[in-house]
Structure 1
Amino acid sequence: MGLVLASVLLAACAQEGDFGRPKAGAWNSLVETTGPFVARERAEPVSAFPLTDDEQTLRERAWRTLMPTTGREAFTDVIANLTRTRALPRRWRPGDVAAYHEGLVSESFRSPVSRYRRLSEDATADARLITPFAALARRVNEADDLRLRSLPFARTLEDFDVHNAAMRVAENRCLIAWVRLELAERIARYRYALEHLVVEVPGPEAIGPERAIAMLAGRRTLLDPLLPPEAAFRCGLVPGEDLIADLAAGRPLVAKD
């Protein structure tokens, strides 16, 4: 419990660098190293191996997707950062589909047009990050496949090496699964926000966000071939396979009455 409380304090001090990535520094380094200790206590996969360059970059690029899109509420950022660094399990993180819309309308804008513009910019920014992330994730998967294929032929490996190799593969794949799941949930939040804005402040400006969300949904499919559909369930990111099927099919998370 003391370790978790310490993690909360550290995460509160986490700083953001360029392009939404974690800023290099003592505070963020402590946050990054605390998470694996807590995750290991929860019996989650944690490897003692050092990260490859691609694995490190994969984690840096995942930061933008796994942190909140709108609002800079301190508590929300702390929870998001704790889940991202694995100091807390993912299910501690709020999954309210209406959260983005609520944050959007709570901000001060000169006109409703600015809200539409913000929604369009956020969806477009997410879409532009997917292609390079998918290419990087593919390289990481290929390296992991090589790692696993080499195990039976390596005669000098001990159980420690085999275990940590398996744990690193699981870590990498579960991170990719988490990003894929989070993007599906983010698309649902963007669609929810757009539907409500059209009712609250209708206008032709809704065309821009609609196209941006469609582009994001289209590019998200680049992540589908990287892992099987049930990956998020196997990684403990969702409680059951029904939700995975809904997200993969693009069905809304909130049904209308």
Structure 2
Amino acid sequence: MGERSRPLLRAAAAAALLLVVAGCSASRPTGDFGRARESVLHDEMMRAVGNLKRAHVDKKPVSNFNQTDQEREMHDRVWRYLTAAHAKDWSFDVSVEFQRTRIGVTDHKFKTDRYYKVISSDRYASSRVRYATMADHISIDIDLMPTTFRSICAVIEVDRQRAVAAAEIIGLEPAMRQQQRDRRAENDEKIGWFVRAIRYRYESFTYALEHLLVETPHEEAVRVDGLLSQLLGWVEQGERGDFCSQAGIYAEAGNGKVPSRVLMGDGKVYRK
């Protein structure tokens, strides 16, 4: 592609982006239980703009391969960790949609105080209910981790099989091998985004718990703290890139278990 065409591509990408931003809501539509719902705008138009920008402006890999069933499932399962429909966009649903469609990368700039501000500003009949709400949010994250990790593991295996086939097939076109490498890079990027997202969620929940202990201390914090220890196990396993291990991730008491953040007793808060 000639040098003269590149400014035109940049201009086209910028113009298309402005049209999307000006005319449409960027937050991806959802269906039952907060699952992503198909949308021509989000899955075709915004994706096309993002691919154009990624390939010709950002100079990053863009694969034209069809998605496997495993890749589609991974994207769907990972997506719910990138957003927070239960908490008024505290996890930046709109920004996430721009990043998902490759129009921009923003998750490195997120601050961890947003969840606390949302849950603190909600009016409850009892201040204890905030802890119960937090426990519900964290429990959902934990409960969906096993299937999400398995879906990531399945995609890692697909990429391995692609690499083996590309290396062994004699006479395979260089462009096809490049497509294989590009798709693997795309999948690695999505997995990395998931890992950053669960770390961000853990730190946001932790920030909220610590500030609620100052604002409205209750013994219900003990349950939230225990759930955070469980969530941290998944976060650290993801950061190690261990998505396919069949071994348990939680150490038993006295064998490296993550210590509790607080002890509640006599109406006071103590730090271990």
Which band: TM-score by shorter chain?
A: 0.7 to 0.9
The answer to whether the aligner puts 1:63 opposite 2:76 as a matched pair is no
Specify which structure has the bigger relative contact order, considering alpha-carbon pairs within 8 angstroms and separated by 6 or more residues: 1
**Secondary structure of 1:12 counterpart:** coil
Aligned residue pair count: 228
Q: In the superposition, relative to structure 1, how do residues 33 and 57 fare at CA in structure 2: closer, same or farther (>3 Å)? A: farther
Provide the aligned C-alpha RMSD in A: 2.5
Q: Is the 8 A contact 1:11 1:28 kept in 2?
A: no
TM, length-normalised to structure 1 = 0.79
Q: Which residue of 2 aligns with 1:245?
A: none
Q: Is the 8 A contact 1:45 1:171 kept in 2?
A: yes
Q: Is the 8 A contact 1:11 1:82 kept in 2?
A: no
Deviation at 1:147, TM superposition (A): 1.1
- Letter in structure 1 aligned against 2:83: M
Q: In 2, Cα distance between the equivalents of 1:108 and 1:61?
A: 31
Q: Which residue of 1 aligns with 2:38?
A: 24
Of residues 124, 134, 142, the one that matches 2:139 is 124
- Unaligned 5+ runs, structure 2: 1-13, 244-272
The structure with more radius of gyration: 2
Q: Is the 8 A contact 2:88 2:118 kept in 1?
A: no
Of residues 202, 213, 219, the one that matches 2:234 is 219
The answer to whether the aligner puts 1:178 opposite 2:160 as a matched pair is no
Q: In 1, Cα distance between the equivalents of 2:104 and 2:161?
A: 31
Q: In the superposition, relative to structure 1, how do residues 37 and 129 fare at CA in structure 2: closer, same or farther (>3 Å)? A: farther
The answer to whether the aligner puts 1:78 opposite 2:91 as a matched pair is no
- Letter in structure 2 aligned against 1:129: L
TM, length-normalised to structure 2 = 0.75
Of residues 104, 109, 113, the one that matches 1:98 is 113
Deviation at 1:196, TM superposition (A): 0.3
Task: Trace 1:1-257 onto structure 2 (pairs within 5 A).
Answer: 1-8=14-21, 9-12=23-26, 14-30=28-44, 31-40=46-55, 41-68=57-84, 71-72=87-88, 76-91=92-107, 94-226=109-241
Q: In 2, Cα distance between the equivalents of 1:151 and 1:22?
A: 33
- Unaligned 5+ runs, structure 1: 229-257
Q: In the superposition, relative to structure 1, how do residues 181 and 73 fare at CA in structure 2: closer, same or farther (>3 Å)? A: closer
Identical pairs, percent: 26
- Letter in structure 2 aligned against 1:173: D
